[in-house]
Amino acid sequence: MLANSKIIVIFIVGIFSWLIHADNPITTKEFAKNTIEGLPVDSQSFSKAYMSPMIGEKQLSTPSGTKFDVSLSCPTSNAFLEVMAQTSSTGDISFLQFSRDKDVDGVIDSVKRFPKMVSGVCTTGLISCTPGTWSDCVGYKWNGKDDNLSLIETGIGNLGGCYCINQSCGDSSRSQRIISSIVTDLGTAAASALANNNPQYSISGAQTTGSIAKFYGQKLVGCGEGSATTMASYYQNPQNIESAANSYKTDANGIYQLIANSDIAKNSLTTRQFCTINRNTSDRAMRLSDIVSYSGGDGGVHSCAGDGCLELTLGRIGNDYWSGYCDIRHQKVSFYVNMPERIKRATLVSAKWDDWIRVSVNNQKLYAYPYPDWDGQTIDGKRCEWSTSWSARPNVNFTDLIKQKGRIDFKIDVQIAGSGEGYAYAQVLVDESCGLDQEWIANSCEVIDEDKNCKLKNETIDGVQTYKDYHPTGKTPIASERSISNSCDAKIKRNWWKVEREYECITNSEFDFSKGIARNAIVQTSAKKDGFNDVINGVTKVNELILPDIETQSNCTNACKVKRKKDKVSVSAQGPVTNRINEDWEILYRKCTGENQNICPNEAGEQVTTSCSCLNEFDTASTMMQSLRQAAQELICSK
């Protein structure tokens, strides 16, 4: 029955297509004649015209000769790729297998397994890390060159649309909950890599059942089973229908959710609202003083030769500016570290003094001479006068002591005998490249999100869809690095950068068809062969109709009535009919010919009983039909 319905639809479409594409207007009579002449009259022509195109062998032709592609039967396609995965207790995929049917003949040709754990899934590959963590991660990109499917190691930054699946970014059972989506994403990425080199692997269909996903290509070899297997299983196990229905009910991609959330189902009008949440950053050029600045005391900070070089002066520069004997003098200087992350190295490079010296930072000794263990406070019977103005290059690295934000205090302790001085120089190498100045969030979704009439429908974060058709997908984007600005190559890492959302908002209006019904009533009541009235925006408009002229046809076609002896003898239960009525005649009607339809085309052996005229023999036909009905119980026709 279904096949017949399809054929009828094609026939109707074909007729109207022929009418629409006609180059010149034709009369009704010509249209009917041409249409009938174009229809198939036997099984061979019918198969050529309709059956072959329906199974995809040829184009469908209309009676007028117009051709177009059509396929009412499903083209067959074997699965060229099958993906199977199993999750571990850490949420990572511990078993990942890819089976391929390279020539799409229904026989598996190749089976490969990925030997490592899978911790993240991307649109172009996958990520493998230490199980249950996001440490020691390595990226792998799909490669389908030479019809060989493989995973090639690459940087994670070369992959796109990645999301984490193990317990480091959620509970360990999440990957099992979304295993169907995971194997679909993995298979889609693998198939895309193959399709780049062979169009036969372009996905024409996909079927996911639990942790197994199958992908079908473009090589057509017949009509596949489609959903027949599923329907058959329901017929054999009807108790599974209810659970399957509940599964479809919660499926974000299913038809149920599409209908349940439609305007008609909610009996209200909805509008779609789109918005974004963007993380923005601006850069600034770094100055040395932005990294380390002078905070007070005897000393200062200056730039030195080379990029990113700071010189710290520790103490008062000069000669013999103190006097005394075995006297201890102290100097202090402070600096403020604003950006410790930009400090590369800090070194005590030189010192000058007379007679003893001790240099410390935050109460930790950096250098002391000539007594390395001097505490900077007592003499303890040691020799005071050395009769020498010392100069040394200690080259002591104290980077770790200033790699924190805040004030750094230096102290210079000097023992003098007679007269003396004491100071030192430190060198700090810093990264003065551009850096982050400001960071702010531009949120155009805030007002929509607070509207109780609006519901989040779809959400994508940095290319990863986290919400689809009102339901979370269970996918989480991976934190990524980006440049601060177009003019600054410095990168910063954040959990997300851009959120794209689609909301569905319910309006206060309900569906009201009253105006449409009233308009329809006006059109119907006013419709005539020459036009109809319509109301648009409260204004009545008269629409004229111009119908094509219909050729006047005669009410009757002339015919003549003839009779001839039957060649076949009828028999009844009592014997041949001629035994009872001498002769057996049959009555025939012939369509008259000639310009005036006045010639009866009777054949040899036929006698004209009624000449050409507009015959009306309804009474005779009715009587004959009644007689035949009554005689049918007795009469037996024989050849």
Name the helix (H) or strand (E) containing 455. Answer: strand 454-461
Partners of 151 in beta bridges? 142
Predicted confidence band at 52 (pLDDT cuts at 50, 70, 90)?
Answer: low
Helices 28-38, 2-20: axis angle to 10 degrees equals 130
pLDDT of residue 501: 95
Average pLDDT rounded to a whole number, residues 433-441: 87
CA atoms of 161 and 167, how far apart (whole Å): 19
Q: What is the reported pLDDT for 99?
A: 92
Handedness of CA 37, 43, 48, 52 (dihedral sign): positive
Q: Give pLDDT, residue 422.
A: 94
pLDDT digits (tens, 9 = 90+) for 395-409: 999 999 999 999 999
For range 47-58, the mean pLDDT: 57
Pairwise pLDDT comparison (283 vs 253), residue with the higher score: 283
Question: What is the arithmetic mean of pLDDT over 611-615?
Answer: 85
Q: Which of 290-294, 392-396, 549-553, 569-573 has the highest mean pLDDT?
A: 392-396
Specify the pLDDT at position 205. Answer: 74
Rounded to whole angstroms, the Cα distance separating 267 from 511 reads 7
**Can you give the pLDDT at residue 90?**
93
pLDDT at residue 158, rounded to an integer: 86
Confidence at residue 518, expressed as pLDDT on a 0 to 100 scale? 85
Q: Is-cis flag, bond preceding 567, omega within 30?
A: no
Residue of 164 and 20 predicted with greater confidence: 164
Centre a 10 Å sphere on the Cβ of residue 425 and count the other Cβ atoms it contains: 20
Does the structure show a pLDDT above 50 at 515? yes
Stretch 575-582: mean pLDDT, rounded? Answer: 43
Q: Which position has the token pair 């493998």?
A: 128
Confidence of residue 39 (pLDDT cuts 50, 70, 90): low
* pLDDT (average), residues 42-65: 60
Where in the sequence of the chain do the CATH 2.60.120 domains occur? 288-432
- The 3-class secondary structure across 309-365, one letter per residue, is EEEEEECCCCCCCEEEEEEEEEEEEEEEECCHHHEEEEEEEEEEECCEEEEEECCEE
pLDDT reported for residue 38: 58
Q: Which of 16-25, 479-488, 515-524 has the lowest mean pLDDT?
A: 16-25
Query: Residue 7: pLDDT above 60?
Result: no
Res. 577: pLDDT tops 70: no
State the maximum Cα–Cα separation within the chain, in Å, rounded to a whole number.
Answer: 173
pLDDT number for residue 400: 93
Least reliable range by pLDDT among 26-35, 89-98, 384-393, 478-487: 26-35
Name the β-bridge partners of 610: 561
Question: pTM for this structure?
Answer: 0.41
Query: How far apart, in whole angstroms, are the C-alpha atoms of residue 521 and residue 462?
Result: 53
CA–CA gap between residue 149 and residue 110 (Å, rounded): 10
Q: Reply yes or no on whether the pLDDT at 629 is more than 80.
A: no
Question: What is each CA distance from 542 to 122, 516, 521, 536, 537, in whole angstroms?
Answer: 61, 17, 15, 11, 14
User: Between these two residues, 222 and 146, which has the higher pLDDT value?
Assistant: 146
Return the pLDDT at 625.
Answer: 60
Reported as a pLDDT band with limits 50, 70 and 90, residue 460 is very high
* Lowest-pLDDT range of 96-105, 250-259, 382-391, 609-618: 250-259
175-184, 332-341, 538-547: which range is least confident on average?
538-547
The CB density around residue 553, as the number of other CB atoms within 10 Å, is: 9
Higher-scoring residue by pLDDT: 465, 23:
465
Average pLDDT of the residues in 46-67: 61
Q: Of the spans 34-48, 151-165, 454-468, 592-606, which averages the highest pLDDT?
A: 454-468
pLDDT exceeding 70 applies to what percent of the chain?
72
Q: Lowest-confidence range among 68-82, 114-128, 624-638?
A: 624-638
CATH topology of domain 288-432: Jelly Rolls (2.60.120)
Residue 448 gets which letter from DSSP?
H
Give the percent of the chain with pLDDT over 90: 36
Least confident interval from 88-92, 119-123, 474-478, 632-636: 632-636
pLDDT-derived band at 540, boundaries 50, 70, 90: confident
Q: If pLDDT is split at 50, 70 and 90, which confidence band does 13 have?
A: very low
Q: Which range has the worst mean pLDDT, 7-21, 67-81, 546-560?
A: 7-21
Q: Is the pLDDT of residue 587 over 70?
A: yes
> According to the model, what pLDDT value does residue 73 have?
40
Name 109's Cβ contacts closer than 8 Å, sequence gap at least 6.
100, 101, 102, 103
pLDDT for res 169: 83
Q: Mean pLDDT across the chain, nearest whole number?
A: 79
Whether 520 and 527 have beta carbons less than 8 Å apart is answered as no
How far apart are the C-alpha atoms of 38 and 17, rounded to whole Å? 13
Q: How far apart are CA 254 and CA 469, in angstroms?
A: 9
